[in-house]
Amino acid sequence: MGKLAVGTGVICAATVCAVAALIIQRRMKNSARWAKAMEFFKEFEKKCETPIDRLYLVADAMVDEMNAGLTSEDGNQLKMLISYVDNLPTGDEHGLFYALDLGGTNFRVLRVQLGGKEGRVLKQESTEVSIPPQLMIGTSEELFDFIAEALAKFVATESEGFHVSPGRQRELGFTFSFPVKQTSIASGSLIRWTKGFSIDDAVGQDVVAQLTKSMEKKGVDMRVGALVNDTIGTLAGGRYLNKDVVAAVILGTGTNAAYVERASAIPKWKGPLPKSEEMVINMEWGNFRSSHLPLTEYDHQLDVESLNVGEQIFEKIISGMYLGDIMRRVLLKMAEEAAFFGDTVPPKLSVPFVLRTPVMSAMHHDTSPDLKVVGSKLKEILGISNTTLRTRKVVFDLCNIVATRGARLSAAGILGILKKIGRDTVNEGQKQKTVIAMDGGLFEHYTEFRNCLKSTIKELVGEEIAETIVIDLANDGSGLGATLLAASHSQYKDVEP
């Protein structure tokens, strides 16, 4: 009996030791995995750093590229496109005007009844339409026919309070948020697509002519009075409401900037200078790149797999279309090479753009002690459940790293504009206000991104100058701006209302 007890005890002890050894082994394995994952995390964090000195270098590089783009048409990163807008809205505009705002995966159509200085915007209506994905890579005829059909439906719903003077044609401001070589206020050929569009037969073609042809086909009697970029529309809408607006920046699906330049500072401008001595410049700053930009292997991967390899590098690290996917790529590497989410790699992590920036924003704004929102989004979007708090904290920190880099680089770009137009200093005895009109869902809805951008501007220019700079949300500025520019370039402009 004694021998049996001893034998049993030995077996039990051996079992306990074996279990303990397995537990220790598992813990050591998990510890090694965690250490490996943290190596990737810390390396990414370091490569995304944006110290103040680097931001100054980025701003200076932006100024250099702006000057190069204003000097010649070809071979420059920044196109610095002449918009032919030399007079921004004054408030005198009146009548019914439409706008079509095409700038991403959705487009909007709107109508505005303007009442001059006294009435301003008397009435406004709009509707938004999603573009089927196949039309983003189809033919230009298919895309513009789809848009014209939606416009026809919207015109048919014109209600009381909107009226066109008898015998007059309706007029439209066309906000087209892609690089265009403009030849007049109402004509311009597409240089290239961005934001996921790839319609080859439209490149080099006049987009106003294409839209007009489709409108005629769909029975829409409307004249395109102004072709503008969304950024120029935002600038025009901002100036209509605030005379101190000097520039506009879009931070949404994509990104761009426009500003008011002295016409005499545009060497490539041919012909007499405009009476206003000013010209709005569409920078197309999404294509900016510099050796000073903090790029990582994940950014290079994203670029190589994109539809426009080697282009829009600035856009690919600061805009809403890409931030979430940069983060997905980091998580995928940590999952593949450090088993960050366990022994199997979550299949959804391999799907490009499955982790969208609004989801990243929701996780970044999670203030719960156990990061409940982070956990629920990982489960809902990526199929990753039962995450530990420390895993969720790493995901939260990754949101912060990606967003902070984007926001601080955006601020450096804005500083470049301020430097170019001499608004980065304050003359003695003068405190001229400088307003930057902002638009886009990233800036409007991603609070942490917006706050970081604003605080970085303050850090870059210093307390005194920061008091003169206002970063102002111009919600729906591009749509309103397009109607205003259609009004200021109306064929009936000099005719009594």
Q: Choose among 68, 59, 40: nearest CA to 293.
A: 59
Structural contact between residues 484 and 84, judged by C-beta atoms closer than 8 angstroms: no
Task: Give the Cα separation of 236 and 231 in Å (integer).
Answer: 9
Assess whether 423 carries a catalytic annotation.
no
Q: Choose among 110, 111, 109, 113: nearest CA to 95.
A: 113
Structural contact between residues 60 and 48, judged by C-beta atoms closer than 8 angstroms: no
Q: For 116-205, list the strands marked E by DSSP.
A: 121-130, 170-176, 180-184, 187-190
Report the alpha-carbon angle 168-241-422, nearest 5: 120
HSE value, Cβ hemisphere, 13 Å, CA-based, for 319: 25
Assess whether 192 carries a catalytic annotation.
yes
Assess whether 223 carries a catalytic annotation.
no
The gap from C-alpha 48 to its chain's centroid, in whole angstroms, comes to 19
Among candidate residues 101, 145, 230, 424, the one labeled active-site is 230
Among candidate residues 101, 111, 170, 177, the one labeled active-site is 177
Structural contact between residues 221 and 155, judged by C-beta atoms closer than 8 angstroms: no
Task: Give the Cα separation of 55 and 57 in Å (integer).
Answer: 5
Q: Choose among 460, 362, 462, 459: nearest CA to 415.
A: 460
Catalytic residue IDs: 177, 192, 230
